[in-house]
Amino acid sequence: RVRISQPTAQPTTLAEAGQKAATCTRCDLCHAATQTVWGEGNPDAPLMIVGEAPGDQEDLQGRPFVGPAGQLLREIIAEVGLDPEQTWLTNAVKHFKYTPRGRQRLHQNPNRGEIQHCRWWLDLERRFVSPRLTVALGASAAFSLTGNPAPLTARRGKIEAARDGGPTLISWHPSLILRLPSADARSARQELAGDLATAAALIG
Interface residues toward ligand URA, by CB under 6 A: 51-55, 58, 64-65, 67, 69-70, 91, 175
We find the least distance from the C-beta atom of residue 164 to ligand URA, in angstroms, to be 20
We find the least distance from the C-beta atom of residue 68 to ligand URA, in angstroms, to be 8
Residue 168, Cα to own-chain centre: how many angstroms?
12
Return the number of the residue (65 or 128) whose C-beta is nearest ligand URA: 65
Return the number of the residue (12 or 152) whose C-beta is nearest ligand URA: 152
* Residue at 178: amino acid letter: L
We find the least distance from the C-beta atom of residue 57 to ligand URA, in angstroms, to be 8
Q: Which residue is nearest to ligand URA (CB)?
A: 51
Return the number of the residue (6 or 107) whose C-beta is nearest ligand URA: 107
We find the least distance from the C-beta atom of residue 115 to ligand URA, in angstroms, to be 12
CA distance 145 to 27: 19
CA distance 8 to 4: 12
Residues β-bridged to residue 159: 169
* Residue at 103: amino acid letter: R
* Residue at 102: amino acid letter: G
The DSSP output letter for 86 is G
CA distance 59 to 65: 10
Return the number of the residue (18 or 67) whose C-beta is nearest ligand URA: 67
